[in-house]
Structure 1
Amino acid sequence: MATVNQACTNSIWLISRGRHPILRLLRDVLPPNLPASLNSLQDEFLWKNSPSSEAGDFSSSKTWDFLHPVGQSFNWTKPIWFKERIPRHTFILWMAMRDRLFTRDKLRSWGLNVPSSCLLCDAYPESKSHLLTDCIYSREIWTGFFRRSGLSPPVSLEEIVVWSDSLSPQRKVNTNCKILVQAIVYCLWRDRNSRLHSSNSKPPHVLSKEIQTILRAKHRHQGVIPLHLVLSFQFVISLWLVAAAIVVVAYRFFWFLVGGSFVFPLFGVF
């Protein structure tokens, strides 16, 4: 790479006479003559952190902000990404909230020749809002879970997600509700795909029982120490007891040989 000082002499540009597009562009945009004073000045490299910023020093943070602009913020982000979530459930709900699920209305908008009817009810055109909340099948799942608690969730999926995080002043109640919402959306989408690819359909009460099984397993996992940790703890305790017994036997044998007694602080007088 040549500097400006190397590319000119006596205020004349040293540019090849070739017909390459870049060379032709340089000859068109560069001024025909340069002031003689420029030859004596030292070149200085400046960096523009964005097209609208002034030239100056390089800033990695400003360059990162320009290359990765902050996206739009949503009020449903926090209710989706929480610590106790089930990852595969969270991913499907996030896809739904971003309108990334390949429902039939989206496939038809891309020009694919697929039926338009909902795979759950086969009565109305399939869309994200219909499939997950408005469908008779999915609505029976939603009301079946919340009717027992005397709750009535909102109609749209976006409102349900936000509502699940502000249901109660108790954090545990809201956490359980968010887990339930994600499990319902995940199981509805899984059952929809099962009907599409294998023609296996489940009545609403069967799908509700599967969701209940998922919730019970999640609660057991949260309330019980994992088995491998229990076994490792028991193994450490067993080693400690064996070592303590060896120490006791060794002390007893030693003081038996010398004919004395010794007060061991943990096990009494020997």
Structure 2
Amino acid sequence: MEDDIGLWKQKEGVFKNKFSTKLTWEMLRSRSEYCEWHRGVWFNYATPKYAFLTWLAIHNRLSTGDRMLSWNGNVNAACSLCDTPIETRNHLFFECRYASIVWKSLVRGIMEDDYTNNWQELVTMLSTSQKTIKVFTLKYVFQATIHCLWLERNGRRHGEAPIPPDKLIRQIDRSVRNRFSSIRLVGSKKMEGGLRYWFSTRQ
């Protein structure tokens, strides 16, 4: 009589006596369609809190006015930045009058003739796999602007004094400069000249 042998299922109808973490994970996981937009969210030298908020925005999971209205019919769904009756993600980033001023000031020197404030066009544009200083800068400014606009929007909804667009622009500009300065300290040759490039786009 033969002893029982423990076997591990590695795929449908195939059992082996060797355990594979990779194959087990492949069997347990739920597969989704490959998404291109991840390149605009997760990339080297991104700031985690900016990237996470951008990820939520891409999934349309931020508590914007239209979403809050679907939870509670009595909520004020207007945009806190420009008083448009219904605040949506696409409106807030960056079709709103206030947000559009901030966005255009920051990226017109980067995007030049390709300038847009349309959410879907931007997400598609940022899905590129190119790893140039220009692409990194646009991705980083995109995330930093989303983060700062969301904080400003929330601050206003909770009664804080509004920040003028030019002051918010300076805050984001400082964040980008700080990021490039910290990258330079790491000694990344690929990003060498990043701060100089950013200065050139701000003229």
TM-score, structure 1 length as denominator? 0.58
Equivalent position amino acid for 1:187 in 2: C
Change (3 A) 1:164 1:151: farther
Q: Map residues 108-147 of structure 1 onto 2, 5 A cutoff.
A: 108-111=69-72, 113-147=74-108
Percent same amino acid among aligned pairs?
28
Distance in 2 separating the partners of 1:49 and 1:179 = 41
1:76 to partner: Cα distance: 1.1
1:131 to partner: Cα distance: 1.0
Counterpart for residue 187 of structure 1: 148
1:94 to partner: Cα distance: 0.9
Contact 2:53 2:146 in 1 (8 A): yes
**Alignment match of 1:220 (pick from 181, 186, 195):** 181
SS at match of 1:218: helix
Which of structures 1 and 2 has the bigger CA Rg?
A: 1
Q: Which string of whole-angstrom CA distances, capped at 9 and with x for unpartnered residues, describes residues 61-100 of structure 1?
A: 4442232122222111112211111111111111101111
SS at match of 2:158: helix
Q: Map residues 47-126 of structure 1 onto 2, 5 A cutoff.
A: 53-54=12-13, 56=15, 60=20, 61-111=22-72, 113-126=74-87
Contact 1:46 1:55 in 2 (8 A): no
SS at match of 1:102: coil
1:123 to partner: Cα distance: 2.1
Higher relative contact order (CA 8 A, sep 6+): 2
Distance in 2 separating the partners of 1:76 and 1:67 = 24
Contact 1:118 1:126 in 2 (8 A): yes
Distance in 2 separating the partners of 1:164 and 1:55 = 41
Gaps of 5+ in 1: 1-41, 227-270
Gaps of 5+ in 2: 188-203
Contact 1:80 1:161 in 2 (8 A): no
Distance in 2 separating the partners of 1:46 and 1:224 = 52
Q: Map residues 247-266 of structure 1 onto 2, 5 A cutoff.
A: none
SS at match of 1:198: coil
**Alignment match of 2:139 (pick from 174, 178, 198):** 178
Counterpart for residue 24 of structure 1: none
Distance in 2 separating the partners of 1:45 and 1:223 = 54
Distance in 1 separating the partners of 2:6 and 2:49 = 49
Distance in 2 separating the partners of 1:180 and 1:194 = 21
Q: Which string of whole-angstrom CA distances, capped at 9 and with x for unpartnered residues, describes residues 206-242 of structure 1?
A: 111111111111122122369xxxxxxxxxxxxxxxx
Distance in 1 separating the partners of 2:8 and 2:154 = 52
How many residues get paired? Answer: 184
Does residue 163 of structure 1 match 2:88? no
Distance in 1 separating the partners of 2:61 and 2:103 = 22
1:189 to partner: Cα distance: 0.7
